[in-house]
Structure 1
Amino acid sequence: MHIRVQQNAFDYGEECARFAAGRTDTGAVVTFCGIVRAPENAVLYRMEIEHYPGMTERALAQIAQSAIQRWDLHDCLIIHRYGPLTAGAQIMMVATASRHRADAFAAADFLMDYLKSRAPFWKKEITDQGTNWVAAKDTDEAALKRW
């Protein structure tokens, strides 16, 4: 399991290639990359993401460990950025590796749901309409019930 919380950008293609390289017992690698998007009907100047170092990494490791225990994963990767980001910037990535695709897909989906709702990041949008802290959505919370 690999967890990285970082300010600088990452190369999605390089990360995917490195994660998949040399795996002879893995039949499936699933990846997902989240992109900063502007809110509806607003121009996003930037999104600022805050976190508590140490606490955030521990929380992400616990989420990843839950996925590893629940599915037959050979490995998983979580990268999440913090600091000021603009629309179109890569904000995060997950990757899962498993012998079979069903486990890799399910684990990646689980990771995304839990990272969206339970990872200790605080996001503030600065738009042409003012500043707004991004609140949790009911749909995000409802997605957790399936797990």
Structure 2
Amino acid sequence: MIRVQREDFEIGAELDALTRDNPGVGGLCSFVGLVRDLHPDARTPDSESGEGRVHGEVRAMTLEHYPGMTEKMLRRIDAEAHRRWPLEASLVIHRYGRMEPGERIVLVATASAHRQAAFESCQFLIDWLKTKAPFWKLEETPDGGCWVDARVGDDAAAARWGRDDWAAE
């Protein structure tokens, strides 16, 4: 299931609906992305990506997307996950619009008979979503708005999953 929406979502209710009435599910893995209050505008080492990161206040973030194109790409990414792993179910909910620090942006969940497929496919979905889905982020800071550039670390995370020619189909 793929949803791109302005409104917030309830994590527990979404996960329950994903697995309800499906006794084949033995493992459920989820990822929830939140708006942070950090802004990249001063360079310090970033242990996660190895890239420089600047720490400054983010008051809000506005996510924009290309309706129709966004859902199409998310369906392609989801279909590829189902092709690679034996999934019982999957869910991608991505919000757009203005959000403040602490608010939920994205929920990715995968359900499989076994935990390994659930773990790997969930990570695959979020890695590819970060690099292939057409979303644009505008951060509001005390100094004004700042468009967020793609991160090399996100591309490297997606690259470990191999070929991406399916994304252009």
- Both proteins in one fold, TM over 0.5: yes
* Aligned-partner Cα distance in 2 for 1:16–1:75: 10
Per mean C-alpha deviation after superposition, the further-off stretch among 122-131 and 83-92 is 122-131
In structure 1, stretches of 5+ residues that fail to align are none
Match of 1:9 in 2: 8
* Aligned-partner Cα distance in 1 for 2:60–2:11: 21
Residues 37-76 of structure 1: matches in 2 within 5 Å? 37-40=36-39, 41-76=55-90
* Aligned-partner Cα distance in 2 for 1:119–1:127: 24
Task: Specify the code of the residue in structure 1 equivalent to 2:138.
Answer: K
* Aligned-partner Cα distance in 1 for 2:15–2:91: 10
Which protein is bigger by CA-based radius of gyration? 2
Structure with the higher fraction of residues in strand conformation: 1
* Aligned-partner Cα distance in 1 for 2:104–2:69: 22
Alignment length (residue pairs): 146
Residues 1-147 of structure 1: matches in 2 within 5 Å? 2-40=1-39, 41-147=55-161
2:19/2:89 contact within 8 Å kept: no
SS of equivalent to 1:56: helix
SS of equivalent to 1:44: coil
RMSD over aligned Cα, in angstroms?
1.0
* Aligned-partner Cα distance in 1 for 2:3–2:69: 13
In structure 2, stretches of 5+ residues that fail to align are 40-54, 162-169
Q: Please state how far the C-alpha of 1:20 moved relative to its aligned partner.
A: 2.0
Q: Please state how far the C-alpha of 1:139 moved relative to its aligned partner.
A: 0.7
- State, as a whole percentage, how many aligned pairs show the same letter: 45
Q: Please state how far the C-alpha of 1:43 moved relative to its aligned partner.
A: 1.9
SS of equivalent to 1:39: coil
* Aligned-partner Cα distance in 1 for 2:21–2:116: 21
* Aligned-partner Cα distance in 1 for 2:125–2:92: 9
Q: Please state how far the C-alpha of 1:5 moved relative to its aligned partner.
A: 0.2
Task: Specify the code of the residue in structure 2 equivalent to 1:21.
Answer: R
Q: Please state how far the C-alpha of 1:105 moved relative to its aligned partner.
A: 0.5
* Aligned-partner Cα distance in 2 for 1:60–1:34: 16
Q: Deviations over 1:13-70 (max 9, x none)?
A: 1111211222211111111111110225322221010011111000000000000000
Q: Please state how far the C-alpha of 1:3 moved relative to its aligned partner.
A: 0.3
